[in-house]
Amino acid sequence: MAQTNILLESGTNELEIVEFYLDEPGYRGHYGVNVAKVVEIIRMQPTTAMPQMRHASVLGAFPHRDGKIVPLVDLARYLGKTSTASTEESKIVVTEFNGIVTGFLVSGVTRIHRLSWNDVEEPGIFLQNISHNSITAVVRLEGRVVFILDMENVVADLDPALAIRFHKIPGELLETAQTYTILHADDSGNVRELVKQLLEKSGQFVVIQAVSGEDAWEKLLGMKKKALDAGTSIRQTLQAVITDIEMPRMDGLTLCRQIKEDPELKSLPVALFSSLISHSLEHKGKSVGADAQFVKPDLQNLSVKLLELIRAKQSAA
C-alpha cells in the first residue's frame, strides 16, 4: 500500500496521508499517518497476550507476514479516549518505520489524501501539551480537522529501547577544544529536546533548532545574510544541518534541495535523520544532494558521520 508514485518523487514538498478515525461517545476524531509508514490495513485479528506489557494500550500480538509477531496497540486507549467502535467495524493500521512493525487499532479508515506540506500546520503549544506531544501537525480537509500523529513517539513511549540513543563519540574522533554548530530541524518537540541534549552532552556540538523545514530555511537565510554583510562565510558560524523529512510547511527533502541549490549554502553537509530512511527510498535523499542518511533512532552513527563530513570539508577548504 505504501508504494505509491509520490514515494518515487523527491523535493516536491508533497505527501500522502491515510486518514482514519477514532469513535468515542458523541465525537469522531480524525487522524492521519504518512502513507510511507503504512504496510496495509486489515480487519481485527485474534491476539495473544504478551508477557510484561508496559502499557494498558498494548492489547497483545498477532501473527503477520513471514511469521512476524506484531504488537497491537489500541490507539484510542493510548490517547486516553474511550472507543465506541465495535470489533467488527474496527481496523488495524499496520505500520513499519525504523525497522519496527506495529499494528494500531482504530475505529475505521476513510481514504488517502495527497497534499502539500504547505497545507500542513504546526500544532499549537496547548494541543501538543494535551496530546502529550503525540500530535505533530494539523491538516484541514473537507471541512474537518485531521491530526497527524507522531507514531514514532508512540512506539518509543511504549518501548524505551526504541527511543533515540547516543552512547559516546569514539576517542579517536574527539577534539575537546573544538565544537561545531549544527542546525537541527524536526517537528517533534521530544526529538528536538533529546537530540540537543545528547549531542551537546558530547562536548563536540552546539545545536540550534528549528521546528520545521520552513523555519530552518529562514534561519539559514538569516545566517547567510549576516555572514555576507560581515564579509565572511556562513561556515564560520554553522558547520552542518540535520533534518527530519516529515515536517509542516516544508519537508526535509525540499529543505535539502534548496540548501544544495544555493551558492553560499551548498557546501554545508546535510544529514537526513528520519524514520522514513530505507534502502528502497534512500534514492530520494541522494537526488536532493543529502550528504548522509540515517534512520531514527541511530543518533550515534549520525554524529560520527557528521564529524567526518565537517572535518573533510574543513580540510578541503
242: CATH: 3.40.50.2300
Residues 6+ apart with CB under 8 A from 218: none
Q: Which domain holds residue 245?
A: 164-316
Q: How far is CA 218 from CA 21, 223, 264, in A?
A: 35, 9, 14
* Statement to judge: residues 19 and 71 lie in one domain: yes
* Statement to judge: residues 168 and 154 lie in one domain: no
Largest CA distance in the chain: 67
What's the sign of the alpha-carbon dihedral 66, 71, 72, 78? negative
> What distance in Å separates the CA atoms of residue 139 and residue 118, rounded to the nearest whole number?
10
Counting the structural domains of the chain, the total is 2
How is residue 121 annotated by DSSP? B
Three-state DSSP class for residue 167: coil
Strand partners of residue 106: 91
Q: Is 1 within 8 Å of 40 (Cβ atoms)?
A: yes
Whether the per-residue pLDDT at 177 is higher than 70: the answer is no
> What distance in Å separates the CA atoms of residue 212 and residue 198, rounded to the nearest whole number?
20
Could you tell me what percent of the chain has a pLDDT over 70?
90
* Statement to judge: residues 306 and 190 lie in one domain: yes
AA letter at 109: V
> What distance in Å separates the CA atoms of residue 69 and residue 180, rounded to the nearest whole number?
43
- Packing angle of the helix pair 189-201, 299-316 (nearest 10 deg): 60
Strand partners of residue 210: 185
Residues 6+ apart with CB under 8 A from 205: 179, 180, 181, 182, 199, 303
- pLDDT for the residue numbered 11: 66
* Statement to judge: residues 9 and 125 lie in one domain: yes
Q: Is 101 within 8 Å of 70 (Cβ atoms)?
A: yes
> What distance in Å separates the CA atoms of residue 228 and residue 9, rounded to the nearest whole number?
34
How is residue 124 annotated by DSSP? P
* Statement to judge: residues 170 and 303 lie in one domain: yes
Give the pLDDT confidence of 188-220 residue by residue, as tens digits: 888 898 899 989 988 889 999 999 999 999 999
Global pTM value: 0.80
- pLDDT for the residue numbered 176: 61
* Statement to judge: residues 180 and 310 lie in one domain: yes
Whether the per-residue pLDDT at 18 is higher than 50: the answer is yes
> What distance in Å separates the CA atoms of residue 131 and residue 180, rounded to the nearest whole number?
34
The CATH number of the domain holding residue 104 is 2.40.50.180
> What distance in Å separates the CA atoms of residue 9 and residue 90, rounded to the nearest whole number?
33
Whether the per-residue pLDDT at 252 is higher than 60: the answer is yes
Q: What does the mean pLDDT of the chain come to? A: 87
- pLDDT for the residue numbered 8: 42
